[in-house]
Each structure stands twice: as C-alpha cells, then as structure tokens.
Amino acid sequence: MYRRLRDLREDRGLNQTALAGVLHVSQATYSRYESGALDIPSTALIALARFYRTSTDYLLGLTDDPLPPAASKTKQDAL
C-alpha cells in the first residue's frame, strides 16, 4: 500500500507537502503515512482515493484495478 501511495504521488509530479496540504496534515505526518510508520486514518484514505480518482481498495492493495467501482462497472457494461 505504501509503495502505491508514493508511486501515485510521484507519477503526478507531486511532493509530500502538496499531499499533506490535501489532507490538512503536516508533511512529517504524510511522510509517516507513506512510509508505513503511521496508520492512515480512514478519512485520509478516502480523501486520497477521491484525490487520485481511484478506490480505497486500490490504495490498500486489495485490487490492481485503479478505476473506482462505478468506473469499472461502466467499463464492463460497454464490453
């Protein structure tokens, strides 16, 4: 999960300070989330999923499909 958070952030050219601002936490706190030193609160996890337009399952590593459930369903319906 933590690697996925870092990869998403880096793929968008963002730094930890930018994501800390999205979550209204310090950069040090966000750094601990990303490294796994601090558990991510569910509210922050949901905020990250919305920010990245993905699912919490994707962020948690429960699925490799980055599309949120509604987008995945729409994609399957088109097939």
pLDDT per position as a tens digit, 36-73: 999 999 999 999 999 999 999 999 999 988 887 775 55
| Share of residues in the chain with pLDDT > 70 (%) | 87
Judge whether residue 75 has pLDDT over 70.
no
Among candidates 30, 26, 28, 24, which has minimal Cα distance to 8? 30
Contacts 24+ apart (CB under 8 A), 53-59: 54/8, 58/4, 59/1, 59/4, 59/5, 59/8
Percent of the chain residues topping a pLDDT of 90: 77
> Domain with 70 in it: what CATH number?
1.10.260.40
Q: Whole domain around residue 20: which residue ranges? A: 2-78
- Domains of the chain: total: 1
Average pLDDT taken over every residue of the chain: 89
